[in-house]
Chain A
Amino acid sequence: MNCSFTEKISLLIDGELPATEAREVERHLFTCAECQELRADFLNLRTHIAGFETSLQPAVQNRDLKKILGTERRAPARGLRWSFGTPAVAFAMLVIAAAIIGLVFYQSFNRSNRDSRETATARTTPSPVPSRSVEQSRQQEPEATPEPTREQQPSQNKNNDEAPRSKPSTPKRAPVREPKPGEQFASIPDPIRAADAQTLTAMHFEKSETLLLAFRNVRLNEPNSAIEVGYERKRAQQLVYQNMILRREADAAGDVQISSLLESLEPILIDIANLPERPNQDAVRVIRERVERKNIVPLLRVNSTALARALD
């Protein structure tokens, strides 16, 4: 094959050449015997490969179809898929995500405003008794900024009904003054909420670690035998939703470490949750390899311990 057009002959018979180039190659074919022979041989090969008949019998085909249609379909796979199903769903998810991000920014903006005002007041009114100046500044605060507290009320109330109950546990603010009506929900639920989230995250890490250890210990017996992973699947299905919620909370709180760990854990939980009732060895092995590769189990252990210590 000395002619420079040989590769183009292959493209020509596949219809993969642009029109102008195809015309050029066809013109060349009139003059080049080597390329003519090549095209004839390629087309001859195509005839033999395309003419290959399968050994499949129609009866076998119908039997296989019945067998496949007779199997149960896995409902969770639809709910847990990664891709956006329809534009409407994608749009709805974007709106929800934007709302969450907006709320988080709004709250953090208000908090930073309040803090900066407190600092400014403390600076402008130097006093030999620091506690008094802080007290004064705090007493002045509600008159100066009544709107944010009023606006924060519904969201705080909705997010955490325990705010009034947990108030005494924040020693810094409680003795300062009596909260005015409507102000009580705006004050200090954040540390409590953060502690709750940390507890939940630590527990979640422990449960996930146990699940992954159990999954690692699933026995792969015979080369072609199916494996029983019913417990692991069910547990992963329970954990995956909690994982999503905790990840969002960690994102909102700006906790990058926890968020990234939860993010690594999530696809693994989804994969385990999506396994068939009796999966083959390869499916299980692939997930195990991913768990090993990502080094998830030690990370879960370290983080759950660290969180538990921080809570203590």
Chain B
Amino acid sequence: MASEDEEFTMLFQDFYPSLCRFLECLLGGRAPLAQDLAQESFLQLHRTAWGTIPVGEARFWLYRVARNMAINEFRKSHTRYRLFDRVVEVMSPRARNPEQEYETQERKTLVLEMLQTLPEDQRTALLLREQEQLSYREIGQVLNISESKVKVDIFRARASLRERWNKVSGLSRCAGLGN
């Protein structure tokens, strides 16, 4: 049992931040909600699936469960958490200096806004590829779709983002994100 907990702790330390980031991008920056869902995903893994699935596949299991939870959230009210999230962002302690913080925040906002313009399946596939560096086969496994659909989704997502990026390039240059 102790070794199982140790293994679980290692998995948690390795993937919890990644899962939070993935959910944050998927949910359009709602950090507290993303952390809640990430915690809930790990909680489900610990309570029900840990020990019944191979450790190597636990990561895919987590992304699949987390994504399903995020989809459920999309269906619920979009406005409920928005105000609360803003309050948390304003109140949370910051380690960086204000200028650096402003730049980081601007960059995050831009990336999130652009990601939100994509359809959910394309956004998820692209995030799993770019942030989590999963292969197409692994992405297909997580999302339960074929590799060819993954290929098409990722390409379309990139093409679409590129087009938008070029449109707002002037704005991004002002924010220090120029190509």
Chain B nearest Cβ from A115, distance in angstroms? 47
For residue B154, CB closer than 8 A to chain A, the reply is yes
Also in contact, A49 and B127, with CB within 8 A (given A44-B179, A71-B47, A73-B50): yes
For residue A178, CB closer than 8 A to chain B, the reply is no
Other A-B contacts than A7-B151, A77-B49, A77-B52, 6 sampled, CB-CB below 8 A, are A6-B155, A53-B21, A61-B16, A65-B12, A67-B43, A71-B46
Contact with A along B154-179 (1 / 0, CB 8 A): 11001101100110000000000101
A52 is contacted by which of B9, B92, B108, B155 (Cβ under 8 Å)? B108
Q: Which residues of A contact B112 (CB under 8 A)?
A: 52
Are A64 and B16 in contact, CB atoms less than 8 angstroms apart? yes
How many of chain A's residues have a CB under 8 angstroms from any CB in B? 44
Are B135 and A49 in contact, CB atoms less than 8 angstroms apart? no
Also in contact, A60 and B35, with CB within 8 A (given A38-B162, A50-B130): yes
For residue B25, CB closer than 8 A to chain A, the reply is yes
| B interface, CB within 8 angstroms of A | 5, 8-9, 12-13, 16-18, 20-21, 24-25, 31, 34-35, 38-39, 42-43, 46-52, 72, 76, 89, 92-93, 104, 107-108, 110-112, 115, 126-127, 129-131, 135-136, 151, 154-155, 158-159, 161-162, 165-166, 177, 179
Are A48 and B107 in contact, CB atoms less than 8 angstroms apart? yes
Of A42, A67, A83, A223, most buried by chain B (CB within 10 Å of CB) is A42
Chain B nearest Cβ from A151, distance in angstroms? 42
Are A7 and B155 in contact, CB atoms less than 8 angstroms apart? yes
Give CA–CA (A46, B21) in the complex, Å: 15
Are B16 and A65 in contact, CB atoms less than 8 angstroms apart? yes
Are A73 and B24 in contact, CB atoms less than 8 angstroms apart? no
Also in contact, A85 and B17, with CB within 8 A (given A45-B162, A50-B131, A52-B25): no
For window 245-266 of chain A, which residues contact chain B by CB distance below 8 Å?
none
Are A16 and B151 in contact, CB atoms less than 8 angstroms apart? yes
Are A71 and B20 in contact, CB atoms less than 8 angstroms apart? no
Contact residues of B: prevailing secondary structure = helix
Give CA–CA (A298, B35) in the complex, Å: 43
Chain A nearest Cβ from B89, distance in angstroms? 8
Q: Which residues of B contact A49 (CB under 8 A)?
A: 25, 111, 115, 126-127, 130-131
Are A61 and B17 in contact, CB atoms less than 8 angstroms apart? yes
Give CA–CA (A54, B13) in the complex, Å: 14
Give CA–CA (A45, B118) in the complex, Å: 14
Contact residues of A: prevailing secondary structure = helix
Q: Which residues of A contact B108 (CB under 8 A)?
A: 52-53
Give CA–CA (A41, B89) in the complex, Å: 31
Q: Which residues of A contact B21 (CB under 8 A)?
A: 52-54, 56
Q: Which residues of B contact A72 (CB under 8 A)?
A: 47
Chain B nearest Cβ from A287, distance in angstroms? 14
Are A83 and B5 in contact, CB atoms less than 8 angstroms apart? no
Listed A/B pairs (19) with beta-carbon separation below 8 Å: A40-B179, A42-B158, A45-B158, A46-B130, A48-B110, A48-B177, A49-B126, A49-B127, A52-B111, A54-B18, A54-B31, A55-B35, A56-B17, A57-B92, A67-B39, A71-B46, A74-B48, A77-B47, A83-B52
Are A68 and B42 in contact, CB atoms less than 8 angstroms apart? yes
For window 197-222 of chain A, which residues contact chain B by CB distance below 8 Å?
none
Give CA–CA (A160, B159) in the complex, Å: 72
Are A56 and B111 in contact, CB atoms less than 8 angstroms apart? no
Are B52 and A10 in contact, CB atoms less than 8 angstroms apart? no
Are A78 and B52 in contact, CB atoms less than 8 angstroms apart? yes
A45 is contacted by which of B9, B52, B165 (Cβ under 8 Å)? B165
For residue A81, CB closer than 8 A to chain B, the reply is yes
For residue A274, CB closer than 8 A to chain B, the reply is yes
Are A74 and B52 in contact, CB atoms less than 8 angstroms apart? no
Give CA–CA (A42, B115) in the complex, Å: 14
Are A54 and B24 in contact, CB atoms less than 8 angstroms apart? yes
Contact with B along A1-36 (1 / 0, CB 8 A): 100001100110010100000000000000000000
Chain B nearest Cβ from A9, distance in angstroms? 9
